[in-house]
Structure formats: C-alpha cells, structure tokens
Amino acid sequence: MPEIKITHSNQSRISEVDFNNIPFGRICTDHMASADFIDGKWTNFEIRPVEPLSLHPTNMTLHYGQAIFEGMKASKAVDGTPMLMRPELHAQRFNASAVRMCMPEFPEDMFVDMIYKLVSIDRAWIPPISGSSMYIRPFMIAMDENVGVRASSNYKFMVLTLPAGPYYGRPISLTTSTEHVRAVDGGVGEAKCAGNYAASLYPATLANKRGFDQVLWLDAHEFKYIQEVGTMNIFFVIGNKVITPATSGSILKGITRRNMIEILKVEKGIEVEERALSIDEVMAAHADGTLKEVFGSGTAALVANVNRIAHDGNVMELDPDNFEISLYLKAKINGLRDGTIEDTYGWMTPITEAVMA
Ligand SMILES: *Cc1c(COP(=O)(O)O)cnc(C)c1O
C-alpha cells in the first residue's frame, strides 16, 4: 500500500470542546485525511491538521455536483479502544456511489487504512461518555476547473472526523408526499451523493411546516410503495413479521439496515421480508391493529422510532413506548459497538497497533 504522509498538529484544539455539550456537525477533530486523483491515479495520501480548502470558482463540483460521501462511526470499547463496525462495507458503498457519479473508485484497503490511522491519531476526541462516538465523514469531490459539462478528470478524497455526543433520539413523525419524490428507478437514489440531499430539502421544509419531522418517501411511479426516510431506511413490524422495502434501485442500501436484518434472522429467528410494501398495506395493518412498530435505521441515529405517519388525509398514531424489536436492535448494536456484547459476527474492528501495521 502507498505510504501515508502524516503531519501532526502543533497544538490540539481538544481543550476548547465541552464533551457534555457537543454541537454535532460543526467541530472537527485536529486532523483530516486526504488524497488526490491526478493523471489517472490516486496520490498524495496524507493526514494533516484540518484546514480550509482553496477552490477556484470554476471548480466543477460547484457547478455540476460530482460529490459523494459516506457516514460511519467509531465507538469506544469500555477499555478505551476505538472500534469501527464493518468499515469495508462503507468502502464498497463509497465506490458504488463513485461509479454511478462517473468518479474514480478509491482503493478500498486505503479507504479503511486511512480511517484507522486518522481515528487512532485523534482517538482522544471520542468522548469518554457512554453512547458517544466519533462521526467519520469520507467524501470525494471533482477538482477540475472548467465551466463546461463533462466528468472531471481530477478529484479530491477527504476524511473528516467529528466528535458526537450520545444520540437521545425522541420519536419522529413522518408524512408521505404525493407531490415530490426522492428517487426514481434508474436515477441516483442508490448513490450517497450530495445532490440527493439538495433535492430533498424543499419537500422536507413543506413537511416541517405541516408539523412533521421528515418525509416518508414513496415510489416515483405510483406514489404507492414506501421507499425510505431522509437519512434512514425504514422497518415495519406487522403481526410477527418485520418488513422493510427491498432495495431495488432507488433506495439507499443502508448498512445499519443490513446489520439489523442479519441480527433479526440469526438471533430472533424472525422472518424479515424485503419486498415492495405499499402505504395502503401499512394503513390496513394499522386499522386492524397488527401494525406494532415503525422505526428508521441509519448510522447517525441508529434507530429512530416513529410515532405518527400521515398519508393522504389519514394519520396513524403509534406508541414507541411499546416497541420491542427496535429496542432490542438498538441495545444489541450499541452493545457490539462498546464491546459489552460479544461480537459473534466478526463485524467490529478494534483499532489497535496491530490493525495499523
Ligand atoms: C446514509 C443513508 C441511509 C442509511 O445508511 P447507513 O449505512 O445505515 O447509515 C439511508 N438513506 C439515505 C438516503 C442515506 O443517505
């Protein structure tokens, strides 16, 4: 593997941070990782102090939006060792996004290795408070300077890390939209690209104005089949079954979603159906009392219980205090993350000297 040039910061900013009150998303740790795609290959692998980027106004990302990202978390085991959960899946998904956006793939072993080293260098930034973590944001942008539409030739890969306090998620309310869609088959819904978020903001503000936290996206052909929520996949417990929409082209393939499906199959022996699920089926289940739980899954929140879903003038109320499966999944994954539950899956990578050698 290519060498990573490491430059340590002269002075840590860590003493400026109140770990009991971290404004999520605004404070980076001391260091960042970066690499450049120049003349057809990745080069300049580096870890150095966080500093602003300097971009010419003709930078193509600013005009045509070739920008992809990942989101993952480093947790801390009870003995203080930083741990990552299935980083290789994030590396693979990053490259799937890159291919769709006509960007170069990043070597998966380097993706993981740079994150190991960055997390290790800034390990003191994982708050020593239960449930805290370090949010890891790998991303890639176009770097050509050209106001003319084509794929860029040069790119920059970067990884930022940000301390994150415990996520005390209150239940969320959702409304479908029968006017806007997030993604369409054949589009870019499966790519973790910046533009998907830009496109979702306006419908989200309309939902907020109507008193709902987020949009429950429906399919783009019939406004009938459930897709996902802004930053999360979604699960429904109907009777004894757990149902989640199949990732058939327009839904982001969540890694939390995948982990939950595997855990439920192995540990609870529960039948998990990945299939088309219509909003009508959910409303019918609510009407006959078999809709037991609805919850979102994603790296940031892990599990977000849903207490209300509006669709087409109807409102379904749910009582998250009675949710059992979501509670179980949350405890299980948190236990794997802090090492209090034995990792029988082989999902966790403790970041020790050995893993970095
Ligand atoms: C990242 C993301 C998710 C959740 O994926 P995880 O791998 O579980 O974090 C779900 N939906 C969208 C649109 C996303 O961008």
Instruction: Give the residue extent of every domain in the chain.
Output: 5-166+346-350, 172-323
**Å from CA of 159 to ligand 1 middle:** 17
Q: Which atom of ligand 1 is nearest to the CA of 233?
A: 10
* CATH code that applies to domain 5-166+346-350: 3.30.470.10
Ligand 1: atom nearest CA of 256 is 8
Which ligand 1 atom is nearest residue 196's CA? 13
Report pLDDT for 355: 67
Q: How far apart are CA 229 and CA 222, in angstroms?
A: 17
Q: Token digits for 160?
A: 């930022």
44 Cα–ligand 1 center, Å: 29
Ligand 1 pocket mutation pick from 68, 135, 233, 302 by most atoms within 8 angstroms of CB: 233
Q: Which atom of ligand 1 is nearest to the CA of 230?
A: 13
Residue 313 CB-density burial (10 A; 0-12 exposed, 13-18 middle, 19+ buried): exposed
Using DSSP's 3-state secondary structure scheme, residue 52 falls into coil
Ligand 1 pocket mutation, candidates 73, 89, 174, 192, criterion most atoms within 8 A of CB = 192
H or E element that contains 291: strand 291-298
Q: Which atom belonging to ligand 1 lies closest to the Cα atom of 300?
A: 9
Q: How far apart are CA 122 and CA 234, in angstroms?
A: 33
For the stretch 283-296, pLDDT in tens is: 999 999 999 999 99
Pure H helices in the chain: 60-64, 87-100, 108-121, 194-209, 255-263, 279-287, 325-337, 353-356
Residue from 73, 231, 234, 261 to probe ligand 1 pocket by mutation (most atoms less than 8 Å from CB): 231
Residues with CB under 6 A from ligand 1: 71, 192, 228, 231-233, 252, 254-257, 297-299
Helix axes 108-121, 87-100, angle to 10 degrees: 130
Residues making up the chain, counted from first to last:
357
Architecture of domain 172-323: Alpha-Beta Barrel (3.20)
Structure tokens at 12: 């840590």
Mean pLDDT (the chain) is: 95
| Best mutation site among 72, 92, 214, 232 for ligand 1 pocket (most ligand atoms within 8 Å of CB) | 232
Q: Which amino acid, one-letter code, is at 131?
A: G
**What's the confidence (pLDDT) of residue 357?**
55
How far is ligand 1, taken at its centre, from the CA of residue 192, in Å? 8
CB 286 within 8 A of CB 316: yes
**pLDDT beneath 70, residues of the chain:** 354-357
Distance CA 38, CA 79 (A): 41
